[in-house]
Amino acid sequence: MPLDIPTAHARLSANAKAIAALVEAVGAEQAGWKPSPEDWSILETVCHLADEERLDFRTRLELCLRDPALPWPPIEPGAWVTTRAYNERRLSEALADFLAERERSLVWLAGLAEPDWRQTSVRPIRSLSAGDLLVSWLAHDLLHLRQLVELQRAWLTREAGDFDLGYAGDW
């Protein structure tokens, strides 16, 4: 993928629409349901996406481009699932929050003028270039799109009861 703003903008926009489409018809019971205690629910996933949009990818990419020596604010995405009580929220509000944050990101991204994608933030654990952050942001969306699809299929399997999903094809 070429590292250019129009391509990244188009992908981030399309990914947000895909995420919205996957969760818009989900009811409250399904939104909070988890296939196992270790798994995240659809609601937790959407809340995570909103927080990552606001506090991780856009913020860290902006800091890397502005001044790679600036400190990054700490994040705890795994812990936030419980400390921020994601599963006690409403899916419609979490989705609106994510979409609003994504729109802020798209406006910000469109305002960049010839960013240096090679500019690198040196971190104790791993140094990351602006380009690394951008492609990771896009990949993060895909990771959670896959997760949402898998959660939808697991819910359907649960709800199908004695009916067999096998005719749909291999999973």
Q: What CA–CA distance (Å, rounded) separates 165 from 171? A: 10
Structure tokens of 14? 């399309």
Range of the structural domain that residue 73 is part of: 5-168
* pLDDT (tens digit per residue) in 89-117: 999 999 999 999 999 999 999 999 999 99
φ and ψ at 81, to 5 degrees?
Answer: -55, -45
Domain total in the chain: 1
pLDDT tens track, the chain, 171 positions = 457 999 999 999 999 999 999 999 999 999 999 999 999 999 999 999 999 999 999 999 999 999 999 999 999 999 999 999 999 999 999 999 999 999 999 999 999 999 999 999 988 788 999 999 999 999 999 999 999 999 999 999 999 999 999 999 987
Question: Is 0.85 surpassed by the pTM of this model?
Answer: yes
Residue 158: which CATH number? 1.20.120.450
Question: Which residue(s) pair with 120 in the sheet?
Answer: 129
Each residue's pLDDT tens digit, 42-63: 999 999 999 999 999 999 999 9
